[in-house]
């Protein structure tokens, strides 16, 4: 029996659940998740630090941004395995800035992972929803964002994180499939092809039986993340020749249904 800590963001949280439900139920391993990105009071931070330092196995995430809790600075005798955060923000260049009213329940779906900074700017200017939709839909994102260069930067940074963590090949999967398959729901919420690579590579490093790994991966037919999809801007889809994005493509928003790009923009401007 081992004490295993998963430290990182929501990707690590879902991995800890998969391990707990599929592995530790038979091994008896104690599995805990520690969020190292959330700002918390000092006493909570100290508690999380003690939890990590007591681990037998520490599964730590190599992230794209600096974490509030730097696990590399801890005094621990744990076997440490590194896992790269995987993302594809290049398809959503305006994501990351929460809706101005995201704390309101009416705007609940629009946190940083499901947001649009360009529309936030239009909201701050008081632009009416229909006018905002027309302006946004006619925007050529590549003219201001240089999408090919953005793609190179994202892939290069993903490759660098992959290389720091033995066996992961996310950058190769993204390169191979991004035009013909929706690999992500939002910038950091992957679909099953990406997520299964995460499971299979990590669990091999944890010396889990290969038959068990295959069974676990085959059970992950859908994304383990919440039922939220962030629309891809039409000009981004055209630029990258994304075969799965069309005029009538619909994007899911929890239990509230699915929306076309136009419907999503109008809803974002005035839910």
Determine how many CB atoms are found less than 10 A away from the CB of residue 47: 13
Long-range CB contacts (within 8 A, 24+) of 116-124:
116/92, 116/268, 118/94, 119/94, 119/265, 119/268, 119/269, 122/269, 123/99, 123/269, 124/100
Whole-angstrom distance, CA of residue 13 vs CA of residue 32:
9
Write out pLDDT tens, residues 7-18.
988 999 999 999
Write out pLDDT tens, residues 61-91.
988 665 544 555 566 777 889 999 999 999 9
Write out pLDDT tens, residues 186-208.
999 999 999 999 999 999 999 99
- Cα torsion 16, 93, 246, 137 to 10°: value is 140
pLDDT of the residue at 51:
79
CB 192 within 8 A of CB 199: no
pLDDT of the residue at 263:
96
CA-nearest of 146, 153, 194, 201 to 174 is 194
Domains of the chain, first to last: 1-85 (3.40.50.12080), 86-271 (no CATH)
């Amino acid at each position: 029996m081992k004490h295993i800590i998963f430290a990182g963001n929501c990707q690590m949280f879902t991995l800890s659940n998969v391990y707990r439900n599929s592995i530790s139920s038979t091994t008896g391993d104690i599995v805990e998740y520690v969020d190292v990105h959330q700002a918390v009071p000092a006493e909570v931070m100290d508690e999380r630090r003690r939890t990590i330092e007591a681990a037998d196995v520490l599964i730590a995430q190599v992230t794209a941004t600096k974490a509030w809790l730097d696990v590399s600075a801890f005094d621990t005798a744990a076997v440490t395995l590194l896992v790269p955060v995987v993302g594809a923000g290049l398809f959503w260049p305006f994501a990351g800035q929460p809706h101005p009213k995201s704390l309101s329940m009416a705007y609940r779906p629009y946190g940083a992972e499901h947001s649009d900074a360009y529309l936030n700017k239009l909201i701050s200017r008081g632009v009416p929803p229909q006018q905002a939709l027309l302006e946004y839909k006619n925007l050529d994102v590549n003219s201001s964002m240089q999408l090919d260069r953005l793609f190179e930067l994202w892939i290069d940074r993903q490759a660098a994180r992959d290389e720091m963590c033995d066996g992961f090949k996310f950058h190769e999967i993204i390169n191979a499939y991004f035009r013909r398959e929706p690999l992500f729901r939002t910038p950091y919420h992957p679909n099953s092809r990406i997520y299964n690579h995460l499971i299979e590579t990590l669990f091999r490093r944890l010396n889990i039986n290969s038959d068990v790994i295959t069974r676990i991966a085959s059970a992950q037919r859908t994304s383990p993340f919440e039922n939220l999809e962030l629309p891809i801007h039409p000009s981004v889809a055209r630029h990258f020749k994304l075969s799965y994005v069309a005029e009538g493509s619909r994007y899911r928003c929890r239990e509230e249904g699915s929306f076309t790009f136009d419907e999503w923009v109008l809803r974002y401007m005035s839910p």
